[in-house]
């Protein structure tokens, strides 16, 4: 009676042991196979993630001085690290666009002399030559005024906290600000 009962039990135990053994020998093989594929498919060490470029979406960026553009992009990356989003609200302008802005200023301020304190003529504007950018919003302009010189960017006019030009060497000292646009020699 006992032997007839234990025989199927032993058979079951052997079957289970074989199944476990089969699984046990299969898993390490397949997982080591995965590791081997990973090791050959990926670089041995992960490269640090490249600093993603800041998309400034500058209109007519190719008409800006390339050095100015590079400086603004580098500064925008620094600003982003400080939690500040830099926008270029105005970069290169055509002579026609600048003339329109100037004419509007003459109307608003009542005289060419007064208008030139705020808007340059096409002949005088650094925007027309691609050598100036206007930075916004206010917190970004403020940031640029304090940190832009690390990339050579300087606020040009005391009455325009948003207007920046490449005016010093990276890390250099910015020239003294002119009171306004009409005081530019
Ligand atoms: Zn400007």
- pLDDT tens digit string along 104-122? 999 999 999 999 999 999 9
**pLDDT over 70, % of the chain:** 71
The H or E element containing residue 50 is none
Higher-pLDDT residue of 34, 91: 91
- Residue 88: is its pLDDT beyond 60? yes
Q: How far is the CA of 135 from the centre of ligand 1 (A)?
A: 8
Q: How far is the CA of 83 from the centre of ligand 1 (A)?
A: 24
Number of continuous H segments (helices) and E segments (strands) in the chain: 5, 4
Structure tokens at 20: 């476990």
Q: Are 184 and 165 in contact (CB under 8 A)?
A: no
Q: How far is the CA of 125 from the centre of ligand 1 (A)?
A: 8
d(CA 65, CA 63): 7
Backbone angles phi, psi at 163, to 5 degrees: -95, 120
Per residue in 133-147, is it b (16+ CB within 10 Å) or e — as a string? bbbbeeebbebbbee
- Residue 102: is its pLDDT beyond 50? yes
Q: How far is the CA of 123 from the centre of ligand 1 (A)?
A: 14
Q: Report residue 49's pLDDT band, with 50, 70 and 90 as the boundaries.
A: low
Q: How far is the CA of 162 from the centre of ligand 1 (A)?
A: 7
Specify the pLDDT at position 51: 66
Q: How far is the CA of 132 from the centre of ligand 1 (A)?
A: 6
Q: How far is the CA of 109 from the centre of ligand 1 (A)?
A: 18
d(CA 8, CA 74): 77
- Residue 29: is its pLDDT beyond 50? no
Q: How far is the CA of 112 from the centre of ligand 1 (A)?
A: 18
Higher-pLDDT residue of 117, 29: 117
Span 156-165, pLDDT tens digits: 999 999 999 9
Q: How far is the CA of 164 from the centre of ligand 1 (A)?
A: 7
Q: Report residue 50's pLDDT band, with 50, 70 and 90 as the boundaries.
A: low
d(CA 176, CA 45): 49
Specify the pLDDT at position 54: 78
What average pLDDT does the segment 34-49 reach? 51
CATH class as words, domain 61-183: alpha beta
Specify the pLDDT at position 145: 98
- Residue 33: is its pLDDT beyond 50? no
d(CA 132, CA 121): 14
**Mean pLDDT, the chain, whole residue set:** 83
């Amino acid at each position: 009676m006992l032997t007839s009962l234990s025989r199927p039990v032993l058979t079951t135990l052997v079957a289970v042991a074989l199944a476990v053994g089969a699984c046990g020998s299969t898993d390490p093989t397949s997982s080591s196979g995965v590791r081997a594929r990973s090791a050959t498919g990926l670089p041995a060490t992960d490269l640090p993630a490249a600093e993603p470029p800041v998309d400034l979406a500058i209109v007519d960026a190719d008409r800006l001085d390339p050095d100015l553009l590079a400086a603004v992009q580098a500064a925008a990356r620094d600003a982003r690290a400080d939690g500040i989003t830099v926008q270029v609200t105005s970069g290169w302008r055509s002579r026609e666009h600048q003339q329109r802005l100037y004419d509007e200023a003459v109307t608003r301020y009542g005289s060419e002399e007064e208008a030139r304190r705020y808007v340059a003529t096409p002949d005088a504007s650094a925007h027309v030559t691609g050598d100036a950018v206007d930075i916004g919003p206010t917190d970004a302009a403020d940031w640029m005024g304090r940190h832009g010189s690390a990339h050579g960017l300087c606020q040009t006019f005391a009455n325009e906290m948003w207007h920046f030009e490449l005016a010093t060497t990276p890390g250099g000292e910015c020239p003294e600000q002119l009171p306004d646009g009409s005081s530019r020699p």
